[in-house]
Structure 1
Amino acid sequence: MAERIDGKQAAADVKASVSAAVKTLPGQPTLAVVLVGDDPASEVYVRHKVTDTEECGMRSIKKTLPASASQQEVEALISNLNHDPEIDGILLQLPLPQGLNPNQAIECIHPDKDVDGLTEASGGRLVLGKTGLRPCTPTGSVILAKRALGDDLAGKNVVVIGRSILVGKPTALLFLAENCTVTIAHSKTQDLAALCRTADILIPAVGRPEMVKADWVKPGATVIDVGMNRIPAPERGEGKTRLVGDVAFKEVEPVAGHITPVPGGVGPMTRACLLQNTVKAACYRRGWPMPDGV
């Protein structure tokens, strides 16, 4: 039976290290969160992010625009935050209301303040191995793998299922930087199950509920499930849903050596790594010494 990797505890540990780091800084890092529209889920996410930031001793600024805001208005707000010397990080909460172009808006964020690590410049820095802000979910995936296997991942065979620019590709690059041997699988991969069985670390990130079955997993492998999918849950009542990953958890748990649950795995780490990135952004921008533990 696999050992469950506790993402909540790992996130709490990262948050504690960020709190300790902030106390050593000569000033207070500041994160600006931009929320466009009134999507209920986005409002909850933003509220959590604001709370997390403040609990770590940093300053949080929430900027809101109505759902009727134009692309120009969104980009103008981001531009103002770029030019504000007090702002260290900018987070644009997604999704944006229909009719707005999220990629175009993200590209307006200055790379030095791109705490989500999503701009083209941040991606280029990652590919080239240069100092920069890394995407939060991929970073959290690496931390969880190290939590299970130790800090030295060199030589591990890693299979990432999914080639998205948001998760799949940066995850592969971050594990490559750890001296792993990395394969990116996708919809055109032949005999995907057989390829997955070669992985010491398997990372499904495609958004297909419970796609990965027990016979896809090498016995003893570490499974980092990035998928977050809502499926019907009639047992909870009419119209109810439940959250599942890309892994058929009950099937795979007896086969794997370590596995992340959904919820409670990668999700909490994404928020924790945002806090790390805010500290890093402040230190890079202001020339502060980088504290240990971030």
Structure 2
Amino acid sequence: MPGGVRVTAELMVGTDLAAEMVANAATRAEKLRESTGVQPCLATVLVGDGPASATYVRMKQNRSKKAGIGSRSVVLPSATTTAELVATLTELSNDSAVHGILLQHPVPGHIDERAAFEAIDPAKDVDGVTMHAFAAMAFGEPGFRSCTPGGIMRLLEAYDVPISGAHAVVIGRSPILGKPAGMLLLASDATVTYTHSRTVGLPEIVRTADIVVAAVGKANFVRGDWLKPGAVVIDAGYNEGNVGDVHFGEAAAVARLITPVPGGVGPMTIALLLEQTVDAAEAQSETAVQSVAGLA
């Protein structure tokens, strides 16, 4: 932690829990390979050569290898059109050897990101970015969770945070982070308030929260005096210099529980991605067996 920071909150560290999830995924992947000959495979698609995105993709590929998950890397030039990206994602969706697809986001500004996401087969949407995945989260139906919100829920569960009846304030409205995080909290019987950087009276609203999820994409945006004493603070932001969306020093002196950046939400995101890739491979293998048997 930064020097001189007075930390009274307990840290919600995701590293150990994520490692356990990856180990379990590796065991299941090996069992699937032994019983069916199928190795789960995650295809990653990167448009352009942004250093941060390229680093994230390499990290996910390395973690995939540790979990016994095969990886396929598709790197497209930054000038790729929406139609070309959609064609690539459609091809991967139709490839029976690929079980999960990850489109690294953000994509270049000229691409229709939503159109690209919707080209991913929902059965392979292990990052939980399609409208099908969002609807499943909203309605409590089977489907893949958006990885960061899903990872947040697992972290809250691991630290025995009471969610039912709690007031959760989500700061951020991204379709793959803020919005699904609120849906998952609501499904667990929290009372959810959505806010964002333009919300009038934001500090006063945050001060009413038992659980704060910061996903606004601005470094040190949430200040310590915004928080109710004893609040649980989930910092889902990651900004230049390993800084989250919450001013850690201030918040850690007020909160009861807080996620560090890095080492909090980040590891959970990747772990859930790998877990859901194995889920997808198992489901697709079962469907293939049923189809051969004439049962599908």
TM-score above 0.5, yes or no: yes
Query: C-alpha separation between the residues in 2 aligned to 1:218 and 1:98?
Result: 38
**Given residue 261 of structure 1, which amino acid in structure 2 is its aligned partner?**
P
Mark the CA change 1:124 to 1:193 in structure 2 (over 3 Å): closer, same or farther: same
Structure 1's 36 and 268: CA in aligned 2 closer, same or farther, altered over 3 A? same
Corresponding residue for residue 227 of structure 1: 237
CA contact (8 A) 1:159 1:184 kept: yes
3-state SS in 2 of match to 1:24: helix
| Structure 2 gap ranges (5+) | 1-7, 288-296
AA of the residue aligned to 2:233: V
Q: 1:91-110 to 2 correspondence within 5 Å?
A: 91-110=102-121
2:21 to 6, 14, 18: 14
State whether residues 197 and 216 of structure 2, in contact with CA within 8 Å, keep that contact through their aligned partners in structure 1: no
Picking from 31, 43, 63, the partner of 1:24 is: 31
Offset at residue 286 of structure 1 (A)? 2.7
Change (3 A) 1:182 1:95: closer
Kept after mapping to 2: 8 A contact 1:200/1:221: yes
Quote the sequence identity (%): 45
Tell me the SS of whatever aligns to 1:61.
Answer: strand
Q: Deviations over 1:34-75 (max 9, x none)?
A: 122222222211111111111101111112222333333222
One of 44, 59, 80 as aligned partner of 1:48:
59
Distance 1:287 1:176 in 2: 32
Q: Distance in 2 between matches of 1:215 and 1:70?
A: 45
Q: What secondary structure, in the 3-state scheme, does the structure 1 residue paired with 2:212 have?
A: strand
Instruction: Report the CA distance shift for 1:137/1:265 in structure 2 as closer, same or farther (over 3 A).
Output: same
Aligned-pair distance for 1:250? 0.5
Q: Where does residue 233 of structure 1 map in the other structure? A: none
Amino acid at match of 2:47: V
Matched, 1:168 2:178: yes
CA shift for structure 1 position 190: 4.1
Distance 1:124 1:24, change over 3 A: same
Distance in 2 (CA, whole Å) between partners of 1:254 and 1:95 is: 34
In the alignment, structure 1 residue 281 sits paired with structure 2 residue 280 = yes
What TM-score, normalized to structure 2? 0.87
Unaligned runs of 5+ in 1: 231-241, 289-294
What corresponds to 1:155 in structure 2?
165
For 1:84, the equivalent position in structure 2 comes to: 95
The equivalences for 1:50-199 within 5 A come to 50-149=61-160, 153-187=163-197, 189-199=199-209
CA distance in 2, matches of 1:216, 1:208: 15
CA distance in 1: counterparts of 2:30 and 2:248, whole angstroms = 40
Q: Give the SS at the match of 2:192.
A: strand
Q: CA deviation at 1:98?
A: 4.5
The answer (yes or no) to whether the contact 1:145–1:222 under 8 Å persists in 2 is no
**Superposed CA RMSD:** 1.8
Q: What amino acid is aligned across from residue 244 of structure 2 in structure 1? A: G
Q: How far 1:258 moved relative to its partner?
A: 0.7
Matching residue of 1:259? 258
**Correspondence for 2:5:** none
Q: Show the counterpart of 1:212.
A: 222
- Please say if residues 5 and 147 of structure 1, whose CA atoms lie closer than 8 Å, have aligned partners that are also in contact: no
How far is the alpha carbon of 1:90 from its aligned partner? 0.8
Using the TM superposition, give the Cα deviation of residue 4 of structure 1 relative to its aligned residue in structure 2, in angstroms.
Answer: 0.9
Residue 91 of structure 2 aligns to which amino acid in structure 1? N
Aligned length: 276
Q: CA deviation at 1:170?
A: 0.2
Distance 1:244 1:219 in 2: 22
Q: TM-score, normalized by length of structure 1?
A: 0.88
Q: Which amino acid aligns with 1:31?
A: L
